[in-house]
Structure 1
Amino acid sequence: MRRSIVISLSTVAVLFALAGCSALPTSAGGAGTVEIGGDTMLLDVRTAEEYAAGHLDSAHLLDFNRGDLAAEIPSLDSDAEYLVYCRSGNRSSQAIALMEQAGFTNLTNLGSLEQASVATKLPIVN
């Protein structure tokens, strides 16, 4: 009985996590699209290897796993808009949570590289 409860709770947690990562952001530009303004910073929080294999045009690499984002937070403009993506939406969610703790408020999780490309209409480049 206890094992089935643990499995059920684990399944629910996984479903909520997947649902949160799969949705494309929405904005005034229409469902699933994000407009990039002059003070918008596009952050790729994947590894350097992932970035080299393909990234959004004009994205800045701040490897979340290596601590690059955490190290850069003090020098980032907390009033700017940040669009954040990774491989699946997991690291970008963690990056946004870290930035929120530091007082950033204008943050959008774009999810994966492919979702980010669709949402921003930016090409994936090498």
Structure 2
Amino acid sequence: MKINSLIAGICLFFSSLFSCQQKGDFKSVSVEDFSTLIANPEIQRLDVRTVAEYSESHIPKSININVLDKTFAEIADSTLQKDKPVALYCRSGKRSKKAAAILSEKGYVVYDLDKGFEEWKKAGKEIEE
């Protein structure tokens, strides 16, 4: 009985250790690389923050789909084009990685702004209010 508990504990440890790894097939990029990417008009710009956050300020020409919305994947599928890459961001980079994983698993080519909109603003990049 004790061996089974020990094995279960070890399995739980390793599963939690590896569950924090990046999921999905997408690339996280720096502010400079993101800026270069979105200069291409073929790249779709996606803000995955809340409507309130987006309303305060955002990267110009980006659309807003809240990744915390239960229907995020469905809204994204009906709004985005799969044949064009998606460059997405959130406030700090955490939610965007979740969104990037969802979209990349659905077949989109995805680029994630690694440290998010806060880093974008800190770098003095263009924003729209």
> So what's the TM-score if we normalise by structure 1?
0.67
- Cα distance in 2 between the residues matched to 1:77 and 1:33: 22
Which residue of structure 1 lines up, in the alignment, with residue 103 of structure 2?
99
Match of 2:29, SS state, is: coil
String of CA shifts for 1:60-93, please: whole Å, max 9, x gaps: 0001112353122332211211111001111100
- Cα distance in 2 between the residues matched to 1:74 and 1:81: 13
Alignment RMSD: 3.4
Q: Any stretches of 5+ residues in structure 1 without a counterpart?
A: 1-8, 18-23
- Between the aligned residues of both structures, percent identity stands at 26
- Cα distance in 2 between the residues matched to 1:117 and 1:109: 16
Are 1:58 and 2:61 an aligned pair?
A: yes
Count of matched residue positions in the alignment of Structure 1 and Structure 2:
111
Checking the alignment, whether the CA contact within 8 Å between 2:92 and 2:118 is kept in structure 1 is no
User: 2:43 is matched with which residue: 34, 40, 43?
Assistant: 40
Match of 1:109, SS state, is: strand
Q: Any stretches of 5+ residues in structure 2 without a counterpart?
A: 1-13, 23-27
Amino acid at match of 2:88: V
- Cα distance in 2 between the residues matched to 1:48 and 1:116: 18
**What displacement does 1:122 show?**
4.7
Return the structure number with greater strand share. 1
